[in-house]
Chains A and B, each alone.
Chain A
Amino acid sequence: MTIKTEWLSLLSLAIGALAGGTLQAQNSQDELQKKYEAKVHESWYTSGGWIDDFGAAKERARKENKVVFAYFTRSYSP
């Protein structure tokens, strides 16, 4: 293999790896979005009247003269 051919092969591999990595990252972000959406459709959340917007929660607390009951959880992992 000539130097130029070898260089082109390495460049192709690098571009392939980058494209594959970017695709993997996008799939991962998509997966995270799906997990988040599944979380906010769980029955405890939907039937309980929970909100997950911090600004909106604080504003509602001020308007209704109530405290905020903050529950810290995650969706990316069980």
Chain B
Amino acid sequence: MFSKEEFQTWAKDNVVLFASIMTRIEGREDDALLKDYGFRGFPSMAILDGSGDAITKKVARELPAMKESVAACNAYAKTKAKVDAGEDVDPAEWFLTRLALGQFSVDEAKEAAAELELTESQKATYDKALLGLELDGLMASARNPAGQKAAAEAVYAFYKAGRVPAAGSQQESFFMAMLGSAADSKNDGDAYLVAGPHLLKQAKDALKRIEDMREGFKGDPKRIEEAIDRMKKQVTDIEAKLESFKKG
């Protein structure tokens, strides 16, 4: 992603790009910097302020969500500077800035929000951020079939309550995957028509990535062809379901 023009153009105006390269060259300063931030493996990413303090260590890999994350970090850094300087800041805005960076658990966020008078606009921002935290929790628990089933039910309930994540957000893909699964099992055409286009795009993107791996693949070619066939079937199945639900 770092080679893409879109990333480079955006980065030039919005961040200072710092590559912390561990070299194992003796005497090299800051050679094992990643350990100072609690990282154990490569690659890792973090957004830091001008003092080197980590603002967030959860950085999205997709550019739209990454831009959102950096915008939240910039807002945090600016507001924190005001707080540190003893200037007046709106407690609701400071709360929302920190919430956007995942500095609260779900319960802590609900408790803090209850103490504040949020405007309608701030309430909408709060709800989106709270949903993001709830989805993060579900993602962590959806590592086995039982967890995935529970996550699908929870996401379906969010959808029915009109709570959907922001387009391009980190949690959107997970939300749509779970919604698609729940909608399919409940035969809910309206819900499937919301999730289906996202699932189709994800499947087509995955198919393209696997097809691109053909050239230069050093393993057994049968394995990659089998993976391509499986993904093509997934694409066809999703298309068929969408068609069937559209016809009602």
Chain B residues positioned under 8 Å from A39 (CB to CB):
21
| A54 engages B23 (CB within 8 Å) | no
What is the distance, in angstroms, from B92's C-beta to the closest C-beta of chain A? 23
| B14 engages A70 (CB within 8 Å) | no
Chain A residue nearest in CB terms to B22: A74
| B23 engages A60 (CB within 8 Å) | no
B46 within 8 A of A: yes
Chain A residues positioned under 8 Å from B7 (CB to CB):
48
Which of B69-77, B160-168, B225-233 participates in binding chain A? Answer: B69-77
| B8 engages A68 (CB within 8 Å) | no
A73 within 8 A of B: yes
Q: When each residue 39-78 of chain A gets 1 if its CB lies under 8 Å from chain B and 0 otherwise, what string results?
A: 1100111011111101001111110111111111111100
What is the distance, in angstroms, from B182's C-beta to the closest C-beta of chain A? 36
Chain A residue nearest in CB terms to B51: A58
Chain A residues positioned under 8 Å from B46 (CB to CB):
70, 72
| A67 engages B45 (CB within 8 Å) | no
Q: How far is the CA of A54 from the CA of B33 in the complex (A)?
A: 9
Q: How far is the CA of A75 from the CA of B43 in the complex (A)?
A: 11
B146 within 8 A of A: no
Instruction: Answer whether A67 and B39 are a contact pair too, CB < 8 Å, given A29-B26, A32-B25, A48-B11.
Output: no
Q: How far is the CA of A70 from the CA of B55 in the complex (A)?
A: 11
Instruction: Answer whether A72 and B39 are a contact pair too, CB < 8 Å, given A36-B25, A60-B16, A61-B16.
Output: yes
**A–B complex contacts, Cβ < 8 Å, 30 sampled:** A32-B23, A35-B23, A36-B23, A47-B3, A48-B7, A49-B8, A49-B17, A50-B18, A52-B18, A54-B20, A54-B30, A58-B50, A66-B14, A67-B47, A67-B50, A69-B16, A69-B47, A70-B46, A71-B2, A71-B17, A71-B18, A71-B44, A71-B45, A72-B20, A72-B34, A72-B37, A72-B43, A72-B46, A73-B43, A74-B22
